[in-house]
Amino acid sequence: MREPLGGTERRTMERSAPHAGAPDRAVSLETTTGPVVVGTARAAVLVVDMQNDFCATGGMFHRAGIDISAVRDAIAPTAKVLDAARRAGMLVIYLKMGYRTDLSDLGPPGSPNRERHLNFSVGSEVAAPDGRLSRVLIRDTWNTAVLDELKPQPGDLELYKSRYSGFFGTELDSLLRSRGINWLIVTGVSTSVCVESTIRDAMFRDYSCILLSDCSAEPLGSDLPRTNHEASLLVIQALLGWVSDSREILRALGASAG
């Protein structure tokens, strides 16, 4: 079908170019700060960490007692956006948090990335829902696989990352530039962590990002008077990019939001 980027990045990139030369259709969509016009051939949809460890029963978040209901609510609208984006000829890229089996890319002892992830038992052996042996946040296991409801399709790309930002230590930037992509439609979890980190890095590299608010979620701080999800929407629309939702992009692409 297709191979995850990470270890075989260059070969996968060379093979997976069905969107190259796709017709460029200018679509206008409303955002919380006004309309923007996006060229479909110059846009990609990023799906950030919509994987079993963060979004599925039996995954890392669920095992840690974290409420994943908001994450689950984001799945259905995201699936509709991905279907419409593929029909429009837009590239779909899945970013997945996943570490090597020996945790050599987790960070040195005492580093925040290593310590925070060890608090969530990264690398520990667990049983997948079907009984197979798996490991928390380890590449090529059930835990780091994309949710079945959002399963990648032929022509989509998967890219492993080892930090919150999808740009850190990956080929995401060179992949996008080689395809002339400058607009990113962003979905995924968690809004204030991996999603916002990726959007910040994208903005620093002069990409234009539109976050779809109902296709993203943030369990952290969900019980606060103003949630971290809402705080991230504010800073993104004010400083880092634009905020819209699935209904608006489906309308712009001529797809049904029903």
pLDDT tens column, 63-84: 999 999 999 999 999 999 999 9
Q: Please identify which of the residues 55, 161, 209, 215 carries the catalytic annotation.
A: 161
Neighbours of 25 (CB within 10 A): 16
CATH number where 194 lies: 3.40.50.850
Is residue 49 part of the annotated active site? The answer reads yes
Contact in structure between 92 and 47 (CB atoms under 8 Å): yes
pLDDT at position 78, please? Answer: 98
Mean pLDDT value across residues 40-55: 98
Is residue 194 part of the annotated active site? The answer reads yes
120 found inside a domain: no
Residue 11 pLDDT grade (very low, low, confident, very high; cuts 50, 70, 90): very low
109 found inside a domain: no
Is residue 161 part of the annotated active site? The answer reads yes
What is the model's pTM?
0.90
129 found inside a domain: no
pLDDT at position 15, please? Answer: 32
90 found inside a domain: yes
In sequence order, what DSSP letters do the residues of 94-120 get, joined into one string? EEEE-B-TT-TTS-STT-HHHHHHHTT
Q: Please identify which of the residues 96, 156, 194, 245 carries the catalytic annotation.
A: 194
Domain that holds residue 27: 4-100+148-253
136 found inside a domain: no
